[in-house]
């Protein structure tokens, strides 16, 4: 069957003339029959063949009424046809028709008069199965009710992706009346930043037939511009004959669910960040490292730029800080997620910076309360920055949101965690204030622990430096050099000590010891051991006897324990007597010979009690060196002690050089930046000539 459709527009698109007809007429199966003025069939359409069961060849020229109508209805039907042919108006109704197979069917008909070029009248009858008509009416009614009363927003878009149908629910959802939809595209009708992506999806559904399910689309509803989130599903519309009609869209408002999910996600993120803070912040008692750990935690996940600023007062005094007036801060850590002028605006790490009372960071520190600036204006920048120049840098960096939270621990504000956002478009909000506050509170405890540790370490260092020798003593026939090196540059505390003690008889006592533990208690205990050792050595006691008395002394020092090696050099006999209490063995470097570890009776550490000590004598002539040291020089976590002792003797196996140079050589070769123990080193060398007091 040939077919053509003629578009109403003046400029039909290519291919429109070849469109296949279809739709409602196909569903109804409308049959066309033409009768002449004698009631004979002169045209019988294919749909008539389907509806009545007779092929055209069997019916053309036959009386239609006699063929199709039962005898009891023929008079009525003949009269109806006669009126139509006579031009008395069209006729319509429902009457039973006899099918070829003998059954009776009810058809709905419409009759009208036709006339050919000669003026001869004809009757055109259009008929459909009444059951099909009622089915279509029912489906249309149900569809209309479902669309009109559905809580889902429903829309139909044509081949050009323009709205052709919108139900009331969609009008409520997006806040636009149907008239503002019809004939428009999504981009033209709906206020959504996702319009381009949504139109792309509509085109793909129209082309491929693959539906899109539950796609989240952001939008603005109604005249108030309320931000909403919609779930949109798209389906291609097709007739039973697979003719494409357009695209249907089903829309639901999921703003509440979206917000709830976002809130839950933020809660999970908050818990994750807090858990990470417990693991990653405060891993050591190093104040600077703790501050860097906090900055690393919040950038870039939480802020684009972060600074950890502590009040200068807390670094110099343990008590509470001032609560009013300007403040002096010291930046311990500054971090940015990317290169930005805001880094240049930050205070240099490690240097003090004074902020006036009107500055927001000062306000946060003095009040102990968070300061939130959701949307930073040009007027806010001078109160955030340290000055006009740095405010200009923050302006260039695009800082749009600011948050400062106090670092408070044990009732004392230690400083401020300073946070800024630039590339992150979302401003800080109250949830961020809570999260930042929790992070700051946890970090503040670690910072407080670190600063107390620093105070104690500084006190221990002061005590230790007071107790250790302040310069090489004048010794009879002996030159000495020594070094003390703490576990790290920032924590100069420990229980290691050394001493070179001139004795009344012209001899010299050499002592190196290591109190177990660290901090101010270890330093104080070390001082007591050192004082006792000097007193005992001055009595002229043998090294083993000195150690026995020190062992008993340990019981009076809260059961303190220490290792110690004691040697007494006799310049008159050219010998040295040595005793050991659990200490690493000294190295004897005889002039012109290979260095060797002294094979001493090791003995037990001081404080064990009840263990005897032995004195051994070695020749110690002019040019000989005796190297005494604590375990921090040779013990590491990743090398065997024998390997380290061999390395020590190898370093000493070289031509004689100044003792100071030898000390530097040993420390430089055997110590690492991350060593976790103190070291005391004492090197003594017998001089070629004897000093005063020799016989």
Higher pLDDT, 179 or 225: 179
Q: Which of 77-91, 544-558, 635-649 has the lowest mean pLDDT?
A: 77-91
State yes or no: pLDDT of 516 exceeds 50.
yes
Q: How many CA atoms lie within 13 A of 11 on its CB side?
A: 0
Give 383-414 pLDDT, tens digit per residue: 999 999 999 999 999 999 999 999 999 889 99
Give 37-88 pLDDT, tens digit per residue: 888 999 999 999 999 999 999 999 999 889 998 888 888 888 888 888 888 7
The residues that bridge with 648 in the sheet, in sequence order, are none
Task: List C-alpha distances in Å: 128 to 94, 97, 138, 251, 366.
Answer: 10, 11, 15, 37, 89
> How many C-beta atoms lie closer than 10 Å to residue 338's C-beta?
12
State yes or no: pLDDT of 693 exceeds 80.
no
Fold (CATH) for 150-253: Beta-Lactamase (3.30.450)
Query: CATH 3.30.450.20 spans which residues of the chain?
Result: 21-134, 150-253
CB within 8 A of 518, min separation 6: which ones? 460, 487, 493, 494, 495, 678
Query: CATH 3.60.40.10 spans which residues of the chain?
Result: 468-686
Supply 75's token pair.
């008079």
pLDDT for res 630? 95
Fold (CATH) for 21-134: Beta-Lactamase (3.30.450)
Task: List C-alpha distances in Å: 385 to 57, 133, 304, 337, 392.
Answer: 98, 79, 16, 19, 9
Q: Is 427 exposed, middle or buried (0-12, 13-18, 19+ CB in 10 A)?
A: middle
pLDDT for res 291? 94
Q: What percent of the chain has pLDDT over 70?
A: 90
Q: Is 166 exposed, middle or buried (0-12, 13-18, 19+ CB in 10 A)?
A: buried
Residue 491 phi/psi, 5-degree rounding, is -130, 90
pLDDT for res 471? 66
Supply 518's token pair.
């660290």
Residue matched to tokens 């502590």? 310
Query: CATH 3.30.450.40 spans which residues of the chain?
Result: 275-457
Contact 305, 346 (CB under 8 A): yes
pLDDT for res 57? 93
Instruction: Decide yes or no: CATH 3.30.750.24 for domain 468-686.
Output: no
The CATH class for the domain spanning 275-457 reads alpha beta
Task: List C-alpha distances in Å: 179 to 168, 169, 176, 417.
Answer: 11, 14, 8, 54
pLDDT for res 14? 39
pTM equals 0.55
Give 303-361 pLDDT, tens digit per residue: 999 999 999 988 877 666 666 789 999 999 999 999 999 999 999 999 999 999 999 99
Higher pLDDT, 675 or 41: 41
Supply 43's token pair.
């045209």
Give 472-504 pLDDT, tens digit per residue: 678 999 999 999 887 765 445 678 899 999 999
Supply 635's token pair.
């013990």
Give 597-624 pLDDT, tens digit per residue: 999 988 899 999 888 999 999 999 999 9
Averaged pLDDT of the chain: 87
Give 647-671 pLDDT, tens digit per residue: 999 999 999 999 999 999 999 999 8
């Amino acid at each position: 069957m040939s077919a053509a459709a003629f578009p109403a527009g003046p400029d039909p698109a290519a291919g429109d003339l070849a469109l296949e007809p279809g739709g409602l007429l196909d569903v109804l199966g409308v049959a066309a029959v033409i009768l002449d003025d004698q009631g004979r069939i002169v045209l019988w359409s294919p749909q008539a063949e389907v509806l009545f069961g007779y092929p055209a060849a069997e019916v053309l020229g036959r009386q239609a009424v006699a063929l199709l109508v039962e005898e009891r209805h023929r008079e009525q039907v003949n009269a109806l046809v006669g009126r139509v042919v006579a031009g008395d108006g069209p006729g319509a109704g429902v009457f039973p028709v006899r099918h070829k197979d003998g059954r009776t069917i009810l058809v709905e008909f419409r009759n009208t008069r036709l006339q050919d070029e000669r003026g001869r009248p004809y009757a055109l009858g259009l008929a459909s199965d009444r059951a099909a008509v009622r089915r279509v009416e029912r489906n249309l009614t149900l569809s209309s009710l479902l669309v009109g009363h559905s809580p889902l927003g429903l829309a139909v878009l044509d081949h050009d992706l323009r709205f052709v149908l919108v139900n009331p629910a969609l009008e409520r959802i997006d806040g636009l009346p149907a008239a503002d939809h019809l004939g428009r595209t999504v981009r033209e009708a709906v206020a959504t930043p996702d319009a381009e992506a949504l139109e792309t999806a509509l085109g793909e559904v129209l082309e491929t037939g693959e539906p899109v399910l539950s796609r989240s689309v952001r939008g603005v509803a109604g005249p108030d511009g309320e931000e909403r989130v919609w779930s949109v599903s798209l389906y291609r519309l097709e007739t039973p004959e697979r003719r494409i009609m357009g695209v249907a869209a089903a829309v639901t408002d999921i703003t509440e669910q979206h917000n709830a999910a976002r809130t839950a996600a933020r809660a999970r993120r908050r818990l994750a960040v807090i858990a990470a803070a417990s693991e990653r912040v405060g891993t050591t008692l190093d104040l600077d490292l703790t501050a860097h750990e906090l900055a690393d935690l919040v950038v870039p996940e939480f802020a684009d730029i972060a600074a950890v600023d502590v009040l200068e007062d807390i670094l110099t005094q343990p008590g509470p800080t001032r609560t009013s007036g300007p403040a002096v801060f010291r930046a311990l850590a500054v971090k940015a997620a990317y290169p930005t002028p805001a880094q240049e605006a930050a205070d240099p790490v490690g240097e003090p910076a004074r902020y006036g009372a009107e500055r927001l960071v000062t306000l946060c520190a003095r009040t102990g309360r968070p300061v939130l600036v959701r949307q930073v204006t040009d007027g806010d920048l001078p109160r955030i920055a340290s000055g006009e120049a740095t405010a200009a840098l923050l302006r260039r960096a695009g800082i749009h949101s600011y948050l400062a939270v106090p670092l408070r621990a044990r009732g004392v504000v230690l400083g401020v965690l300073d946070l800024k956002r630039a590339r992150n478009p979302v401003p800080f909000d109250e949830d961020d204030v809570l999260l930042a506050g929790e992070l700051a509170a946890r970090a503040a405890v670690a910072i407080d622990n670190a600063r107390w540790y620093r105070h104690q370490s500084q006190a221990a260092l002061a005590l230790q430096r007071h107790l250790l020798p302040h310069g090489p003593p004048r010794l009879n026939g002996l030159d000495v050099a020594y070094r003390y090196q703490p576990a790290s540059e920032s924590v100069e505390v420990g229980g290691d000590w050394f001493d070179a003690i001139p004795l009344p008889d012209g001899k010299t006592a050499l002592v190196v010891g290591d109190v177990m533990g660290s901090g101010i208690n270890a330093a104080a205990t070390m001082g007591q051991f050192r004082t006792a050792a000097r007193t005992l050595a001055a009595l002229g006691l043998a090294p083993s006897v000195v150690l026995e008395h020190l062992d008993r002394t340990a019981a009076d020092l809260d059961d303190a324990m220490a290792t110690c090696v004691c040697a007494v050099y006799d310049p008159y006999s050219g010998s040295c007597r040595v005793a050991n209490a659990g200490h690493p063995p000294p190295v004897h470097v005889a002039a012109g010979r290979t260095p060797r570890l002294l094979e001493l009776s090791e003995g037990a550490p001081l404080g064990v009690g009840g263990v005897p000590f032995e004195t051994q004598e070695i020749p110690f002539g002019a040019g000989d060196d005796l190297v005494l040291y604590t375990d921090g020089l040779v013990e590491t976590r990743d090398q065997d002690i024998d390997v380290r002792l061999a390395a020590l003797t190898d370093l000493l196996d070289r031509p004689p050089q100044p003792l100071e140079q030898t000390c530097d050589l040993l420390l430089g070769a055997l110590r690492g930046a991350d060593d976790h123990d103190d070291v005391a080193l004492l090197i003594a060398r017998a001089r070629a000539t004897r000093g005063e007091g020799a016989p």
